[in-house]
Structure 1
Amino acid sequence: MPEESKPPRPRNAGRGAPVLAQFTAREQVGPATREALAGCWTDVTNAGGAAGFPFPPVDRSETGPALERIVDALAPDSCRLLAAVRDGELVGWLNLRRDQFELIAHWGTLHHVQTHPKVQGQGYGTALVQEARRVAREEMGLEQLRLAARAGVGLEDFYGRLGWREIGRWPGALRLAPGDDRDEILMHLSPL
């Protein structure tokens, strides 16, 4: 990522691991980083990834505005963006959110978890999800995390290996095409 858009606290999980960056405010996300985030989202979606745009192909005219809504909502207590960087290039990201309503403010949700197709299977998604768990617990004071995932692409296995458990499904909730209805899998991680 270009120097002007680096967040204040990158973390490296160890030798050979990705650099993990965290953004907690709009002004931390410069134009080049926004372009990299939207580009990753476009590439992931067009490769069939389940990251928020169910009907590929998409282009940056779609991913860009959706990304801007996430960036506009960034705040230390309620909305963070985590990114994985390899050799200065963004290779994955996710959005961690909490609702401020006091009844449910003790839990958060993961959204748009993704790694670029050229690096999938190399541990970047695992590193991002593990870092989200750490940030949720240590920095945001959350007690549990939730997410919804599309069935039929192996996501429940991926998250299951990281300690998440399936707590329910909405049968046929996601219609990707005529005759291609998928369950929405509800997953939970607790304690953090």
Structure 2
Amino acid sequence: MTLTFTVDPPQTPRLRDEIIDLWTDVSNAGGAVGFVPPVTAEDVRPDYLKHLVALESRRMHLVVGRDEGGQVAATAFLGRNTHRLQRHWIWAYTVMVRPGLQGQGCGRELMAAVERAGRSFDGIEAIRLTCRGGTGVDRFYASCGYKEVGRVPGMIRVAPGDDRDDITMLLPL
């Protein structure tokens, strides 16, 4: 399936609801996007609202991929650094693909759209992201050109006795 991507689409109630639904579905499918299942849309909503505040202040950007029916199928948030010594790179946060579309190339399309967006911002030289160890997603990001540049063992506590590495990856542009 081929997705159509936009950067910083207008924020509408429909877009909000579709992103919250996607975030909930990805989380409940075991995706490492800040939650441990089970979660509801009401659990996710406060985190989305924090991103929305950053979007409105232009400290963050949103990449949205839509399927042929116009439904949100993939997203990533790109956070700008406010520190004067780190404004030359951006963070990729909450990278998500609808669970039913995973394994069909949509994640690779999303990461290509994230890279294009990063290249379109003045002065941006790299994209940085973190991912949860033990999920295999670090291999996916590596296949998209990201290099592991740091790892903190046991930094993410998924459950008592289940600590995962926090892996930092970088894509120079």
Q: TM-score range by the shorter chain?
A: over 0.9
Matching residue of 2:4 = 19
User: Higher relative contact order by CA 8 Å / sep ≥ 6: 1 or 2?
Assistant: 2
Share of identical aligned residues, percent? 37
Match of 1:68 among 40, 43, 49: 49
What secondary structure, in the 3-state scheme, does the structure 2 residue paired with 1:43 have? helix
- Go from structure 1 to structure 2 and tell me whether the alpha carbon gap of 1:140 and 1:71 turns closer, same or farther (over 3 Å shift): farther
Which of the residues 26, 36, 42 maps onto 1:44? Answer: 26
Structure 2 unaligned residues grouped into runs of 5+: none
1:83 equivalent to 2:68? Answer no
1:97 pairs, out of 58, 76, 79, with 79
- Aligned residue number for residue 119 of structure 1: 101
Bigger shift: residues 38-47 or 59-68: 59-68
Q: Are 1:162 and 2:144 an aligned pair?
A: yes
Partner of 1:145: 127
Q: How far apart, CA to CA, are the structure 2 residues paired with 1:182 and 1:140?
A: 35
Q: In structure 2, the residue corresponding to 1:74 is in which secondary structure?
A: helix
Question: What TM-score do you get using the length of structure 2 for normalisation?
Answer: 0.93
Normalising to structure 1: TM-score of the pair?
A: 0.85
CA distance in 2, matches of 1:77, 1:66: 17
Which is worse superposed, 132-141 or 152-161? 132-141
Whether the aligned pair in 2 keeps the contact of 1:77 and 1:140 (CA below 8 Å) is: no
CA distance in 2, matches of 1:78, 1:142: 14
Match of 1:176 in 2: 158
Inter-partner Cα distance in structure 2 for 1:105 and 1:151: 27
8 Å CA contact retained: 1:40, 1:116: yes
Kindly provide the CA deviation profile for residues 40-61 of structure 1, in whole angstroms up to 9, marking residues without a partner as x. 00000001000121x2111111
- Look up the SS of the partner of 1:102 in the other structure: coil
Read off the aligned partner of 1:101 and give its amino acid letter.
H
Q: Which residue of 2 aligns with 1:132?
A: 114
**SS of corresponding position for 1:130:** helix
Deviating above 4 A after TM superposition, structure 1's stretches of 4 or more consecutive aligned residues are none
User: Residue 64 of structure 2 aligns to a residue in which SS?
Assistant: strand
Task: Give 1:187's aligned amino acid.
Answer: M
- 1:3 matched to which residue of 2? none
Distance in 2 separating the partners of 1:131 and 1:60? 26
Q: CA RMSD in A?
A: 1.5
